[in-house]
Chains A and B, each alone.
Chain A
Amino acid sequence: MNWNGKDTALFLQQKEYIDTAIVPLIPADFGPGMIHAAEQNEFIQLLVAFLEKQFKGRLLVTPANAYLPDRAEKVADAAQWADRLKETGFKHIFFFTSDSSWRQEEENVSGSVIWIPSVPLGDMEDSMKYSLIENQAKQIVNIIVQKWQANLS
């Protein structure tokens, strides 16, 4: 499910089936790191779009949590997002980011932080882009499915 009117309406009807939320964590760097931050956004959004296509019926992609890179409360913010999502009924919460500052923060937010180093996609041909994203996403597909199955048993 995407973050739009139609999908969220369906989500509210079918809540019991949709138990997973994906939150992209995107640094909003308006300084010298701008290009890198924008590339991370491009990469994460494409990756998340692919996962949404695979698992449309079980996960909701929330709006991206964008933060200023030096914001002290960014971890607390993300934790709050996770708590609210849990209150709404989500059992599994995945944060997707390319920002390496999140690598040690998993225990501070009540969800899984999936850190994937971003690849600059700028001038790449579309077919190349798709196969690259697909390869990355396939590994994440496994992580998500394992998480679902771990919860079953």
Chain B
Amino acid sequence: MSKQPVSRRQFLNYTLTGVGGFMAAGMLMPMVRFAVDPVLKGEAAGDYHPTQQKVSELTETPVRVDFSYEQKDAWYTSEVTSTAWVYKNNKGEIVALSPVCKHLGCTVSWEGNDHKNQFFCPCHNGLYEKSGKNVPGTPPLKPLDVYPTAEKDGLLQLGKPQANNV
């Protein structure tokens, strides 16, 4: 019997280590998965809507970017079209502003009604600077909301509009 290369003791040791290892792994894996979950979620960041705007074609002049996505309103699903004014600022960063006037929600336009270098709201003559900052003395009291931006395959993606701190 002693000629056998694996002794009974060794065999039991190996088997126990192997089985124990699997059991330990079975317990630890879900724990590790839970522990790193926030990291994995961060990568997915699915709240950006794709647009057709090529990032390389953006300039310092704001352009209108339309994009649409599906929105569920109770049981009613509809295709919503949204707009953003997108340009590169003097640091070369992409700025995407929401066109919704902070006064009562009309749609503002760039250099509308001959207001040079400003956003103009046709409803009550509200004005915003290029950065989205509201011009004092006009009805709006807050700057235009800003979209978080992302780039995928050279195309611009836009998130949910957030309050602007300029």
Q: Do A and B come from one complex?
A: yes
**A: which residues have CB within 8 A of B?**
10, 14, 17-18, 53-58, 126, 130, 145
B79 contacts A57, C-beta separation under 8 Å:
no
Given contacts A53-B107, A56-B105, A57-B101, contact A17 B122 (CB under 8 A): no
Chain B: minimal CB distance from A14 (Å): 6
Give Cα A54 to B79, complex, Å. 17
Q: Which A residues lie within 8 Å of B104 (CB)?
A: 10, 14, 17-18, 56-58
Could you tell me the distance in whole angstroms from the C-beta of B83 to the nearest C-beta in chain A?
A: 9
Given A17-B124, A145-B122, answer yes or no on A56-B139 (Cβ-Cβ < 8 Å): no
The answer to whether the Cβ of B15 comes within 8 Å of any Cβ in the partner chain is no
- Chain B residues within CB distance 8 Å of chain A: 68, 79, 81, 101, 103-107, 121-124, 139
Most chain A beta-carbon neighbours within 10 Å: one of B79, B101, B105, B107: B105
| Contact assessment for B105 and A17 in the assembled complex, using a CB-CB cutoff below 8 Å | no
In the A-B complex, the 5 residue pairs with the closest CB atoms: A57-B104, A58-B123, A56-B105, A57-B106, A57-B123
Q: How far is the CA of A10 from the CA of B68 in the complex (A)?
A: 27
10 A-B residue pairs with Cβ-Cβ distance under 8 Å, sorted by A, are A18-B104, A54-B122, A55-B106, A55-B123, A56-B105, A56-B107, A57-B101, A57-B104, A58-B124, A145-B122
Neighbour of A54 across the interface among B103, B107, B139, CB < 8 A: B107
Give me 16 other A-B pairs in contact (C-beta within 8 A), A56-B107, A58-B104 excluded: A17-B104, A17-B123, A18-B104, A53-B107, A54-B106, A56-B104, A57-B103, A57-B104, A57-B121, A57-B123, A57-B124, A58-B106, A58-B123, A126-B68, A126-B79, A130-B81
Taking a contact as CB atoms under 8 Å apart, the answer to whether B106 and A56 are in contact is yes
In the assembly, what is the distance between CA of A4 and CA of B107, in Å?
Answer: 20
- Nearest opposing residue in chain B for A56, CB measure: B105
B105 to chain A, nearest CB (A): 4
